[in-house]
Chains A and B, each alone.
Chain A
C-alpha cells in the first residue's frame, strides 16, 4: 500500500490494559518508523508480549488506540502483519510445506506463490531437506525456523517477533539477522522483544523500555547511549606501563590488566596532548570513547525505579 511513499508508521497511543485486577500497561505510547528495528525491552512480566498481542489484534486494549499509517488497527486486515509468538507451536502431525502454505494462504497468497516462497526461505535457512517432513520429527530449533518463515512468508508491512533469538545457535542467529536486515531495507517495520541486551544493542535502532506498567525510556539507541554517556574513554596498551596513573589530570574509573577506563579532569589537558604523552612511553593497542552498554543502562534504570518506589 505504501510501497511508493514508503511512509510506514505504527503508533501506539496511550494504551491501557489490565487483566482483572492487575494493571499491565498504564498509558503506553510509542511510535515506530518504517526501516527501523524497534526493540521492546523490559523485565519479565513487563507487558511486552501483551503489547505485541494488541498490535496483532489478538487482544484489545482497554483504552487507547493503535494506528498503522493512520488507520486504527482493528479496521485493518491481518495480512499487513506477521507474527512470531513467544510460545512456539505448530501442527505436530502436519508436513512442513503444508503448514507454510496454509499460513501463506490465510494471508491471501495463492498456494502456488506460498509454496514457491516457502521453498525459497527453507533453502535460505538451510532446511530445504525437511520440506516434506512432519513437524514433530524435527528438532526444536528447526521448528522455530519454520515458524519464522511462517511469520514473514507473506512479506508483511509489520513484522513482530517475540523473543526471536532464544533457542537458536549463533550461525542461525546470523542468518536470521541477515534476513531481517534485508526486510528492514524495504522500509518496513520490525518490532522485536528480547531479554538479551547485547542482541538488542546490535540490531535495534530504537528501543522502548517498559517497567511496572510504564515506559521508562523510549528513543533511538544512539540517543539513549549519548544520554547516559559519562565522557569516559577506554585505552588498551601493549605491555604494562603504569603511565596513566602517573598523570595527575586523569581520573581512572576502572583499571584492567593493560587497560584503563578514565575521564579527563575538567580543563586540565586536551585529549590529543594526553595521547601524545602516552605514545611516547608505550604503544596504544586500542583507544575509544567509552559507551555504556544497554545492559548497564537497563539495570541502572530498573534499579532506580525500584529505589524510587521504596
Chain B
C-alpha cells in the first residue's frame, strides 16, 4: 500500500513542474476564454457606421414608404443617432416598357378627365335648364341633354373600366420591372433588402421580404415587428379611429429580461449566463484530459522504455495503476484549485461581479470538484487501459482523440442545454457516463429548479461505472503491459477481462 503512494508521489512531482502542466493550468484557460469572448467583443465594439438601404415596391398607393421610414427611425438608430435604415422607392422610370405603358395610362387618364369634364358640364347645363323655366323649347332641350348626359356617362364608365384594367396591367408591369431593378440592386449590394407591398396587403397581411441572406433572423424579426405595427395601424385607421390615439397605442415596447432564481431576481445577462457554464465545461474537460492524458502517456512511456519491468518487479500492477491514478488525479485537483483560487481572486479584486453571477458560489465549486474527480477516475482508468494495450503512441493517440471528441460533445449541445437544461433529451444524455460530468456542470448553474435527484443519481452512476472500469483496466493492464511490440486483439483483451 505504501508503494501506491510512492508511485503517486513520483507521478505527481515529476509532472507538476512540467511546462505542459503549467501551460494548461495558467495559460490555456485564459486563451480559451479570450477566444470565445472575442467574437462577442468584436460584435459589441463594431461601430455601426453604415446605414442600410431598404428598397420598397409599393403597389398599394398608400404611401407606405414614409410610414415605414418613420417607424424604423423610431425603433432603430445607429450609435451616432442617425437612422439605421433608409427606405427608398425602387424607381422604374427608365424601363421602356413601363414608360410606354405609363404614357398610355396617362392618355387614358386624360381621356377620362376630359370626359368627366364634359359629363360635369352637361350636368351643370341641365341643372340650369331645370331652373330656368323660360327657356324656349325647354322640353326638347332637356330631353336632348339627357341623351347627351347618358352618352357621356356610358363613355365615362367605359373609360373607367379601361383605366382600371390598364392599371392592373401597369401594376403588374411595374411590379415586374421594379422587382427586376430591385433584384439587381440587391445583387450589387446597393440594397440590403427590399419589400413588396401588394395593393391589398392591409387586408391579407402579406408583405414580401427579399434578401440575399434569409438566415439573418435578426433583420427579418425587426421588419416583421415594424410591419405588424404598420398594418395593424392601417386596419385601425380604416375603422375611423383618430391617428393620435393610434400613435399612443403603438408606442414601442422593450422587453427587459429577468430570470427567476431562488435567491431573488437578477438581471439576466445572456452572455454571462451562457459563456460562464461553457467555460466551466471547457475547464472541466481540460482538467480531466490533462490529467488523463498524463496517466496515458505515463503508462505508454513506461511501457515503451521498459521501466515497467523494473516497476512491476517491485510493486504489483494494481499498486502501480492506483498510484498513477491517484498521483495524476491529485495533479488535476491542484489544477482545479488553482482555478478556484484565481476565480476567487478575480472576485475579490472586483473584476468578476460574483454577486451578479449567481453560479459563482462555493456549492458549485464543490460540484465542480466532485464531477472532475468522477470524470477523471472514469477517463483515467480508460486511459490506463488504452495506454497499456497500445503498441505505439500513434494508435493510442487516435483513441485519445476519439475520447476527446466524445467528451466535448456536450458543448455542441450547449444551446439546447441553455434553452432548457431539464429537457428530457438532455437529462437522458446526462446518464451516459462519458458525458455525465460535462452535462452536469452545464446544467447545475443553468437549471432554475434544483436537480438534486439527477445530481445524486449521476454520482451513483459514475461511481458504479468507475468501479467497473477500474476493474477491467486493472486486468487488462496486468496482462498487456508485458506484451512487447504487439497490439493485442480484441479477443485477447476480452479473455484477460474474463479470466480470474
Contact status A53-B309, CB under 8 Å? yes
Contact status A85-B314, CB under 8 Å? no
Return the contact of B307 from the options A91, A105, A108, A151 (Cβ within 8 A): A91
Contact status A102-B6, CB under 8 Å? yes
Return the contact of B314 from the options A59, A78, A90, A93 (Cβ within 8 A): A78
The 0/1 profile, CB within 8 Å of B marked 1, for residues 42-71 of chain A is 000000000001001111000000000000
A107 to B313, CA, bound (A): 10
Contact status A89-B10, CB under 8 Å? no
A53 to B6, CA, bound (A): 23
A151 to B314, CA, bound (A): 10
Closest-by-CB residue of B relative to A56 is: B313
Contact status A102-B10, CB under 8 Å? yes
Is B3 an interface position by the 8 A CB rule? yes
Residues of the A chain whose Cβ atoms lie less than 8 Å from the Cβ of B315: 78, 106
Interface residues of A in 73-99 (CB under 8 A from B): 78-79, 81, 83, 85, 87-94, 98
Is A150 an interface position by the 8 A CB rule? yes
Is A103 an interface position by the 8 A CB rule? yes
Number of interface residues of A (CB under 8 A): 28
CB distance from B298 to the nearest CB of A (A): 10
CB distance from A154 to the nearest CB of B (A): 9
The 0/1 profile, CB within 8 Å of B marked 1, for residues 143-155 of chain A is 0000100110000
Is B310 an interface position by the 8 A CB rule? yes
Interface residues of B in 293-326 (CB under 8 A from A): 301, 304-307, 309-315
CB distance from A150 to the nearest CB of B (A): 7
Contact status A81-B313, CB under 8 Å? yes
A151 to B2, CA, bound (A): 20
Residues of the A chain whose Cβ atoms lie less than 8 Å from the Cβ of B312: 56, 58
Residues of the A chain whose Cβ atoms lie less than 8 Å from the Cβ of B7: 106
Return the contact of A94 from the options B6, B14, B309 (Cβ within 8 A): B14
Contact status B307-A83, CB under 8 Å? no
Contact status A88-B306, CB under 8 Å? yes
Closest-by-CB residue of B relative to A55 is: B313
Closest-by-CB residue of A relative to B3 is: A106
Whether A57 touches B482, Cβ cut-off 8 Å, given contacts A85-B306, A106-B6, is no
Contact status A92-B313, CB under 8 Å? no
Contact status B309-A83, CB under 8 Å? yes
A239 to B3, CA, bound (A): 68
What is the size category of the interface that chain B forms with chain A? 10 to 19
Contact status A85-B6, CB under 8 Å? no
Closest-by-CB residue of B relative to A101 is: B10
Closest-by-CB residue of A relative to B311 is: A106
Residues of the B chain whose Cβ atoms lie less than 8 Å from the Cβ of A147: 310
The 0/1 profile, CB within 8 Å of A marked 1, for residues 425-465 of chain B is 00000000000000000000000000000000000000000
Residues of the A chain whose Cβ atoms lie less than 8 Å from the Cβ of B310: 83, 85, 103, 147, 150-151
A134 to B459, CA, bound (A): 43
Residues of the A chain whose Cβ atoms lie less than 8 Å from the Cβ of B301: 91
A199 to B3, CA, bound (A): 36
Contact status B306-A58, CB under 8 Å? no
A56 to B306, CA, bound (A): 15
CB distance from B233 to the nearest CB of A (A): 76
Return the contact of B14 from the options A57, A78, A85, A91 (Cβ within 8 A): A91
Closest-by-CB residue of A relative to B317 is: A58
Contact status B313-A78, CB under 8 Å? yes
Interface residues of B in 1-27 (CB under 8 A from A): 2-3, 6-7, 10, 14
Closest-by-CB residue of A relative to B481 is: A58
CB distance from B244 to the nearest CB of A (A): 82
Residues of the B chain whose Cβ atoms lie less than 8 Å from the Cβ of A59: 482
Contact status B314-A107, CB under 8 Å? yes
Interface residues of B in 467-500 (CB under 8 A from A): 482
Closest-by-CB residue of B relative to A150 is: B310
Residues of the A chain whose Cβ atoms lie less than 8 Å from the Cβ of B10: 102
Contact status B314-A58, CB under 8 Å? no
Residues of the B chain whose Cβ atoms lie less than 8 Å from the Cβ of A108: 2
Whether A57 touches B313, Cβ cut-off 8 Å, given contacts A91-B14, A94-B14, A105-B6, is yes
CB distance from A113 to the nearest CB of B (A): 14
A223 to B309, CA, bound (A): 35
CB distance from A62 to the nearest CB of B (A): 13
CB distance from B164 to the nearest CB of A (A): 92
CB distance from B482 to the nearest CB of A (A): 7
A58 to B314, CA, bound (A): 9
Closest-by-CB residue of B relative to A78 is: B314
Interface residues of A in 82-139 (CB under 8 A from B): 83, 85, 87-94, 98, 102-103, 105-108
Residues of the B chain whose Cβ atoms lie less than 8 Å from the Cβ of A57: 313
Interface residues of B in 274-294 (CB under 8 A from A): none
Residues of the A chain whose Cβ atoms lie less than 8 Å from the Cβ of B14: 91, 93-94, 98
Residue among B305, B309, B314 having the largest count of chain A Cβ atoms under 10 Å: B314
CB distance from B303 to the nearest CB of A (A): 10
A78 to B316, CA, bound (A): 9
CB distance from B95 to the nearest CB of A (A): 79
A58 to B320, CA, bound (A): 13
Can you list 11 A-B pairs with a CB-CB distance of less than 8 A?
A: A58-B313, A78-B315, A83-B309, A83-B313, A85-B310, A87-B306, A88-B306, A89-B306, A102-B6, A103-B314, A107-B314
Closest 5 interchain pairs by CB? A89-B305, A56-B313, A89-B306, A78-B314, A87-B306
With A59-B482, A90-B305, A102-B10 given, can you name 16 additional A-B contacts, CB distance below 8 Å? Answer: A56-B309, A57-B313, A58-B482, A78-B313, A78-B314, A85-B310, A89-B306, A91-B301, A91-B305, A92-B305, A98-B14, A102-B6, A103-B310, A106-B3, A106-B6, A106-B315
Chain A positions near chain B (C-beta within 8 angstroms): 53, 56-59, 78-79, 81, 83, 85, 87-94, 98, 102-103, 105-108, 147, 150-151
